[in-house]
Amino acid sequence: MASVTTRTLLEMKQKGERIVALTCYDALFARLLDASGIDILLVGDSVNQVLAGASSTLSATLEQMIYHTTIVRRGTERAMVICDMPFLTYQVSPEDALRNCGRAMKESGCHAVKLEGGQAMAATVRRLVDVGIPVMGHLGLTPQSVHALGGYRVQGRDDAAAARLQSDAKALEEAGAFAVVLELVPAPLASQITTALTIPTIGIGAGPACDGQVLVVHDMLGLNEHFDAKFIKKYAALAEDVREAARVYAAEVREGRFPGPEHSFGK
């Protein structure tokens, strides 16, 4: 089965084929999701919240992202693996971004990196693309700017904000980004941006008109019961399955029913 590349994604947009993306943080989930035909595995800095228990993505480190991207890459054969670059690893200067993004790609084996921001990041995106580092953009609700944005809120509701997002999206395309994530953007605006761009848009809370969709895998599987949002659809309820399995295991251990003869070794 052919691997997904930036060219694959562009061809999918041109053909009207929807792109499927999920976050992924380890080799086990990577194998499962890759075998299920997921096109993009995004190693999001959301790992800092989902697995590390932090209140935001801001304290994620480059070493943390490289580690998780490396193990996701080990479990992947077909999907494109994208490393989400953490806060202050690319905003300081284009050269700083080049060093850090280059290190992420070299050490993890990922296929691309993702950066947040629009026109202000265009020069950085161009610098990276010029040396062969594929870049996915990210607009709308950008979690690394959550404090500046006043919380996790839908972006682009008024005309001025909508115009800025449209300009930002075009600037990223012109700088060479191969795709743009649109997060918490009104569906009509996301549709307009998707139509205006030749590169794919990947939506999360941005309506059905985007060229693809992404969700946090733990949210989609119903594992993260402490977070719920309008844009999430839970395709399973695995948190209760995990609790029930642990309860049964604990009961069997305490009652001496596990391990049984079939789980034990003789001489």
**C-alpha dist (Å) from residue 252 to 64, 242, 259:** 37, 15, 8
Looking at the DSSP assignment, which residues form a beta bridge with residue 139?
182
| Greatest Cα-to-Cα distance within the chain, rounded to the nearest angstrom | 77
Distance between CA atoms of residues 65 and 112, nearest Å: 13
Q: Which two tokens stand for residue 152?
A: 């996790």
Rounded Cα gap, residues 20 and 23, in angstroms: 11
Q: Looking at 11, 77, 174, 183, which residue is catalytic?
A: 183
How many CA atoms are closer than 13 Å to the CA of 110, on its beta-carbon side? 35
> Is 183 labeled as catalytic in the residue annotation?
yes
Dist. CA 62–CA 65, nearest whole Å: 5
Residues listed for the chain:
267
Q: Would you call the peptide bond into 259 cis, given omega within 30 degrees of 0 as the criterion?
A: yes
Active site positions, annotated? 183
